[in-house]
Structure 1
Amino acid sequence: MDTHTGNATTPDGTRLTYRDHHAPDSQHPPLLLLHGLAGHMGEWDDLLPLLLADGHRVITYDARGHGASTRRPPDMTRASAVRDVTTLIEELSLPTPVTLLGQSLGGHTAFLTAAAHPHLVDSLILVEAGPAGPSPELPAEIAAWLDSWPTPFTSFSSAAAFLGHEAWARGLEEREDGHHPRWDRDTMLAAVAELSIRAYWPQWARVACPTLVVRGAKGTMRKAEMARMARTTRGAQIRTGRPPQPQPQTLTEVIEDAGHDVHLDQPRRLHAAVRTFLSARNAT
């Protein structure tokens, strides 16, 4: 495997730090992985070798305001997150269309990208992510969650124990007084501001590419949202004149013994679902 770490600069001057992982002789569309709120690209480390073993080229990156990317960017709108995806595709000269795999807020960005730039996206994999809303209570819930972090954490082990996964702890910055988050609280709240006042069903209705929606059995995504997503995208396929598919446009999968962080709770089960979906997609 060949891995290259670099930085891309967006139109508003935001720096995006990425890792480009090349599997030998990849014959599949590139996979771009998008993490969730307050996370980092290292969250995909358990899933990454499994995808590479399948022969995929995989790109991971720290979203704006997160990790090694610009911590306080001038814009945290949903539109800016979509522009980040297109910037990375252009910066890396990725052969298009690509496959987008996103969890939580990263999944939200992924389907907005597919809706706005259908020619760039071959297929979508959304983990605990959908268009439901508005959620007026969301900013307060996120603020309470972030404020509950007893930072700085005194040790890596204490951070992993509190956050629930070592992957979350690996995203922290170690300083002399302990381990600190690599994000700014106000920036995180700005990232979810639009979700508190609107839903994104119109954008979802414009998604016409094959999609896999994954929900953790113990996660936060509602069954009704997943079911409505499947019904809506089937209609989008018909309206856009895409050739009829031998299976529903949106497939759904529930991963047992997984919460909101399906990719951390059950990476192998998630990989099995992703592999089955992409194998069927690549065979068409």
Structure 2
Amino acid sequence: MTIVDTGEVRLHVQRLAAHPTAADTGPVGTVVLLHGLLTDSLASYYFTVAPAFAAAGLDVVMYDHRGHGRSGRPPRGYGLEAFVDDLDLLLDRLGVRTPVHLVGNSYGGTVAFGLARRRPERVASMVVVESEPATAAWAVKLAGLLDRVRREMSVNEDGALAWIATHHGGHTARLAKSAGRLVRDTTLARDIPASAVLDDDDIRAIGCPVLALYGADSDLADQAPRMRALLPHCETQLLPGHRHSVLVEAPDRVRALVLDWVGRHSRPPAAARGRAR
């Protein structure tokens, strides 16, 4: 475990080095894994796809967002801009100078879109899973979601946690309890909906290749044609039989799609470059 102080917040970071035997044959570069909001953490990657990415030849960076997991939990400062700042500063602190491949799940994908718009030179490609850019409609949706969480965890926390434990297990209930504290004890529920948002022209200006993955039964599946229409270099995939929890329900499929995508948008491995001379 590594704690990196960005100057704004202390972030819990895990790095997995590319497996040396894959260095000359697999995809090349650094992949940064960005998790979702409230009940999520880097663990959702650590126990699913991250080890396979390292085994395939990628350097892997994953971290807990501010307020999540083992990262610092400041009382205020949770606008989307702060999460994008954290990612930008973290890459500086880690000495990552070359463009990275961003993989963002849910809110993590929204952070990825934010960095790609602000610092396009830092982003080689993106894979977003069940995600969308920050827009006016997104802000309204997040406001409703966060307000509902705040009310449910303030008015009847014990009842809500008991229901979650019964239907989803004790581990999920513990995550929900931590999420409730985050919403109740910080300004996150006010800050995120008040974030600066992107209009269609901003989204069109994101020039890196983007792969957008959605559960075919998810409420976000209708984002697929919109993303293809707005982003200049975008492909989409709908995963049948899945809703929002694509990453944890279909990790093998996500892993295969990400490795193929990164392989298509990274520099050739050293051995291939040597043969081409």
Same fold, judged at TM 0.5 (above): yes
Instruction: Give, in whole Å, the separation in 1 of the partners of 2:43 and 2:180.
Output: 13
Partner of 2:205: 206
Q: Deviations over 1:47-96 (max 9, x none)?
A: 11222221111111110111111112541112111111111111111241
Partner of 2:229: 231
Instruction: Give, in whole Å, the separation in 2 of the partners of 1:268 and 1:76.
Output: 32
Question: Is 1:29 the counterpart of 2:13 in the alignment?
Answer: no
Change (3 A) 1:46 1:152: farther
Partner of 2:9: 14
Question: Is 1:40 the counterpart of 2:41 in the alignment?
Answer: yes
Partner of 1:184: 182
Structure 2 residue ranges without an equivalent (≥5): 269-277
Question: Alpha-carbon deviation of 1:115?
Answer: 1.1
Question: Alpha-carbon deviation of 1:161?
Answer: 5.7
Instruction: Give, in whole Å, the separation in 2 of the partners of 1:210 and 1:255.
Output: 20
Look up the equivalent residue of 2:215 and give its one-letter code: G
Number of aligned residues: 255
Look up the equivalent residue of 2:136 and give its one-letter code: G
Instruction: Give, in whole Å, the separation in 1 of the partners of 2:259 and 2:123.
Output: 17
8 A Cα contact 2:44 2:248, kept in partner = yes
Instruction: Give, in whole Å, the separation in 1 of the partners of 2:81 and 2:166.
Output: 35
Instruction: Give, in whole Å, the separation in 2 of the partners of 1:30 and 1:171.
Output: 29
Look up the equivalent residue of 1:77 and give its one-letter code: G
Change (3 A) 1:182 1:146: closer
Look up the equivalent residue of 1:8 and give its one-letter code: V
Structure 1 residue ranges without an equivalent (≥5): 173-178, 235-248
8 A Cα contact 1:165 1:264, kept in partner = no
Change (3 A) 1:279 1:108: same
Instruction: Give, in whole Å, the separation in 1 of the partners of 2:210 and 2:224.
Output: 11
Instruction: Give, in whole Å, the separation in 2 of the partners of 1:160 and 1:47.
Output: 26
Q: SS of the counterpart of 1:40? A: coil
Partner of 2:271: none
Query: More helix per residue: 1 or 2?
Result: 2
Instruction: Give, in whole Å, the separation in 2 of the partners of 1:101 and 1:165.
Output: 28
Question: Alpha-carbon deviation of 1:125?
Answer: 0.6
2:68 to 38, 41, 66: 66
8 A Cα contact 2:76 2:188, kept in partner = no
8 A Cα contact 2:79 2:188, kept in partner = no
8 A Cα contact 2:35 2:107, kept in partner = yes
Output aligned runs, 1:257-268, within 5 Å: 257-268=241-252
8 A Cα contact 1:259 1:265, kept in partner = no
Output aligned runs, 1:1-284, within 5 Å: 5-11=1-7, 13-25=8-20, 26=23, 28-38=28-38, 39-44=40-45, 45-131=47-133, 132-134=135-137, 135-145=139-149, 147-148=151-152, 162-163=167-168, 168=172, 180-181=178-179, 183-185=181-183, 186-194=186-194, 198-223=197-222, 225-234=223-232, 249-282=233-266
Partner of 2:274: none
Look up the equivalent residue of 1:133 and give its one-letter code: A
Q: SS of the counterpart of 2:214? A: strand
Greater RCO structure (CA 8 Å; 6+ sep): 2
Instruction: Give, in whole Å, the separation in 1 of the partners of 2:87 and 2:187.
Output: 19
Look up the equivalent residue of 2:65 and give its one-letter code: A
Q: Deviations over 1:14-67 (max 9, x none)?
A: 111111111223461111111111121111121112222211111111101111
Question: Alpha-carbon deviation of 1:141?
Answer: 2.5
Look up the equivalent residue of 1:136 and give its one-letter code: V
Instruction: Give, in whole Å, the separation in 1 of the partners of 2:149 and 2:180.
Output: 15
8 A Cα contact 1:29 1:95, kept in partner = no
Question: Alpha-carbon deviation of 1:170?
Answer: 7.8
Q: Deviations over 1:149-183 (max 9, x none)?
A: 67579x9x9866645796x56857xxxxxx74485
- Output the TM-score relative to the length of structure 1: 0.78
Question: Alpha-carbon deviation of 1:138?
Answer: 3.1
Q: State which drifts further: 252-261 or 140-149.
A: 140-149
